[in-house]
Structure 1
């Protein structure tokens, strides 16, 4: 959020959390890193089960917080299901976070607990019976609503693929079949034995692959056009082939020139040369922060491709949805897409990589750096 909103107290801050995250957290631990009294966002973690070692959990989350550029303080908020009574629920988790923060040299601005209908502070010796009513929280500032819109109900909201009717899927499936016929003919294979006519639009789609990075760049503009059946079929075909998919992701991260370099590197690698480390490191989240709007546009295109793709080739598009979500800092969405891909193909490569990164708590390096201006 680039608009500066001031929070005067804990109640104001709690009002702002859904706008910082983009959703209303539940059964979560939210860490808000501060640098010089300002924060640009927050980190959400699943609330650990009761048998989890609080110290190990705190060490993990503080380790991530310490990677934020110039962080010097935190606010931690525990969102739980238990009502507030004589003691604040989940105190062991809060205490462990406080100790880990102090060991890391970070100030703890506040430690808060939010229950089903009330909230309170861990810090201090006493809290009001039952806590403070959530209904008494102030309304969010108009500037926050204008800057971020209405937050989603929870961390998985918005991960659902677009609704697509059966006719749309059948058209794309037929276009994919025609595309594969055309690719075979161009490669020197005989025409379909059935004598089926190959749609001329399929040959036009094949010609678009002559410049793969440009094809992916144009997909950012036209990839969700329902009438562009052969275009989306070609995109699905590319995303189901790792070498072409990686060129597409690289293009969506850094532009056509980067896509050209990735494509050339892929060709050299197929001829026995060593694959350069740069593109692979980029895929692992290294380097400058990409343009978030560009990645969001790419995610919209990949989500549409996954929605209309036939089931057997859907994992490719789903894995790209997962990677793009991870790159945007939406680990819960990334896991959702990767799991959906693995339900179809349990050994799907990129989906397994995305799952391993999410489950290990690995975030892109650029998530901890300021956005480019």
Structure 2
């Protein structure tokens, strides 16, 4: 499962410009990884793909043997020139074995470093100068200065991957009955008119809702939306040709606000109307470079409806680790098909 780097906005940068965190030594890199992924990894193999000394892509896998071929495919696909592998394993020997397997199997790319983290200490398996003590070095990424830089720049690192998955889990089951009553009441009103009229209705609803979502880095709080507003968006997004209007409105420059909006929708819709909002949220997460959230959307879509076309598209995007820039061309084609100006 891959997780791509998330560019974040701050007041003094263009929203689509990448955050620059300067890394000089392994401890700096280890403090940066949670912000590249969006969460603090455990029992994971993290691969950092480098080009010209910069992280082009961060990919996270469940810690296991036999991943070298998948890592090598990503190296070739993205034409990277350097690779850092980090094994997070409470069982140190198990993590070391995974790293050594990759050292032996990967060729044609410079292995810049192999790092082992057991949750309390870290080691570099490539150190040959005696700089790394046998007992390792203390692992405390939250106390590293880079963490403060990342937070100031607007990057977020949740406690673990499960906390990201929880954000797309939908409302608690006790709320379903009441929400379903509102879905039944709103359905006839939302479904009235032609598909074109529903497209216009969704477009206006999204624009109005985004006006209540603050710009990233502004420090403002989003105006609360009531359940009926969120359910109307979800009901409109059930119809593919209507849902695609919401996708077409997503730009890389404004993706974070679309993520905030559709996350709010997903949190308050019952399962039977969740696929459309999850699809739009997945597109916004991709455009924002938030691969962890994209994967979480894919996994829930797979559970809700394995044949849902948007779910399969997003899974392919994740599997191939397509950069957010790919969304630009796809979105332009979608807007053209829908007769929408950017």
1:129 is the counterpart of 2:170: no
Q: Is 2:166 aligned against 1:160?
A: yes
Contact 1:24 1:154 in 2 (8 A): yes
Deviation of the 1:113 alpha carbon:
0.9
Checking the alignment, whether the CA contact within 8 Å between 2:234 and 2:265 is kept in structure 1 is: yes
Higher relative contact order (CA 8 A, sep 6+): 2
Residue 169 (structure 1) shift = 6.7
Q: State which of 71, 88, 91 in structure 2 corresponds to 1:79.
A: 88
- The answer for the alignment partner of 1:37 in structure 2 is 53
The answer to whether the Cα contact below 8 Å between 2:88 and 2:95 also exists between their aligned partners in 1 is no
**Is contact 1:62-1:97 (8 Å) kept?**
no
Between the aligned partners of 1:331 and 1:3, the Cα distance in structure 2 is 16
Q: Deviations over 1:248-275 (max 9, x none)?
A: 212224xxxxxxxxxxxxxxxxxxxxxx
TM-score normalised according to structure 1 size: 0.65
Rg: which structure is higher? 1
Checking the alignment, whether the CA contact within 8 Å between 1:329 and 1:363 is kept in structure 2 is no
Look up the SS of the partner of 1:113 in the other structure. Answer: strand
Specify which of 102, 126, 144 is matched with residue 139 of structure 1.
Answer: 144
Q: Is the contact made by 2:19 and 2:153 (CA closer than 8 Å) also made in structure 1? A: yes
User: 1:9 is matched with which residue?
Assistant: 25
- 2:139 and 2:286 mapped to 1: Cα distance? 31
SS of residue paired to 1:42: strand
Tell me: CA distance 1:368–1:132, structure 2 relative to 1, closer, same or farther (3 Å): farther
Q: CA 1:16–1:331 in structure 2 vs 1: closer, same or farther (change >3 Å)?
A: closer
The structural deviation recorded for 1:62 is 3.1
- Residue 146 and residue 117 in structure 1: after superposition, are their counterparts in 2 closer, same or farther (change >3 A)? same
1:336 correspondence with 2:296: yes
Secondary structure at 2:49's aligned position in 1? Answer: strand
Is 1:221 the counterpart of 2:211? The answer is yes
Q: Give the structure-2-normalised TM-score.
A: 0.70
Mapped partners of 1:251, 1:4: distance in 2: 28
Cα deviation code 1:196-217 (max 9, x no counterpart):
xxxxxxxxxx977546544433
Q: Offset of 1:109 from its aligned partner? A: 1.9
Q: Which residue of 1 aligns with 2:340?
A: none
Query: What is the total number of aligned residue pairs between the two structures?
Result: 298
The DSSP-based 3-state class of the residue aligned with 1:157 is helix
| 8 Å CA contact 2:198, 2:242 repeated in 1 | no
- In the TM superposition, what are the counterparts of 1:199-348 in structure 2 within 5 Å? 209-210=199-200, 212-222=202-212, 226-228=224-226, 230-253=228-251, 290-291=252-253, 294-348=254-308
Summarize the Cα distance change of 1:305–1:124 in structure 2 as closer, same or farther, 3 Å threshold.
Answer: closer
Alignment match, 1:283: none
The runs of 5 or more residues in structure 2 that have no matched partner are 1-6, 8-17, 214-221, 328-342
* Distance in structure 2 (CA, Å) of the matches to 1:365 and 1:319: 18
